[in-house]
Amino acid sequence: MIKQTISLFALLLLLSLSAQAQHKFSGQINGLGQDVTVFLSNVDNLNKAETLDSAKVAADGSFSLAMPLQKPRMCNVTFWKAGKTRSYKISSLSLLLDGSEDVSLKGDTAQLFSTDRETILGINGGGKTLADWLDYKRYIQKQQDVADDASYREAYAYIANSGDKSKYRDLIVAKEREAARLDSMQTVWMEGHSTTATAAYLLGKRYYQSFTYPKDVMAKWIDEVTANNVDTARVSFLKRNRDIVMGLSLDIPFIDFSATTKAGKVVKFSSLVPKGKYTLIDFWASWCGPCRAAIPHVKQMYTAQKGRLNVVSISVDQREADWRKAEKQEAMPWTQLWLNKEQLNKAALAYDIQSIPRLVLINPEGKIQLVSFDPDKIEAALKK
> Catalytic residues, which ones?
288, 291
CB-based burial of residue 247 (10 Å sphere; 0-12 exposed, 13-18 middle, 19+ buried)?
middle
Sign of CA dihedral 153, 155, 160, 161: positive
Distance of CA 66 to the CA centre of its chain: 28
With 0-12 / 13-18 / 19 or more C-beta atoms within 10 angstroms meaning exposed / middle / buried, residue 222 is buried
- Containing 188, the helix (H) or strand (E) segment is helix 169-192
- What is the gyration radius of the CA atoms in the chain, in angstroms? 26
Provide the 3-class DSSP secondary structure of residue 226: helix
Which residues pair with residue 53 across a beta bridge? 40
**Cα–Cα distance, 378 to 277 (Å, whole number):** 14
Of 78, 80, 79, 71, whose CA–CA distance to 44 is shortest? 71
User: If phi over 0 gives left and psi between -120 and 50 gives alpha, with beta otherwise, what is residue 26?
Assistant: beta
Cβ atoms within 10 Å of 8's Cβ, excluding its own: 10
Residue 382's CB is within 10 A of a number of other CB atoms, namely: 17
Secondary structure of residue 245 in the 3-state scheme: helix
Q: Are 127 and 50 in contact (CB under 8 A)?
A: no
**Among 109, 111, 115, 113, CA closest to 147:** 115
Total residues belonging to the chain: 384
**Residues 60 and 31 sit within 8 Å (Cβ to Cβ):** no
Alpha-carbon separation of residue 45 from 49, 67, 74, 133, 201 (angstroms): 6, 17, 8, 18, 11
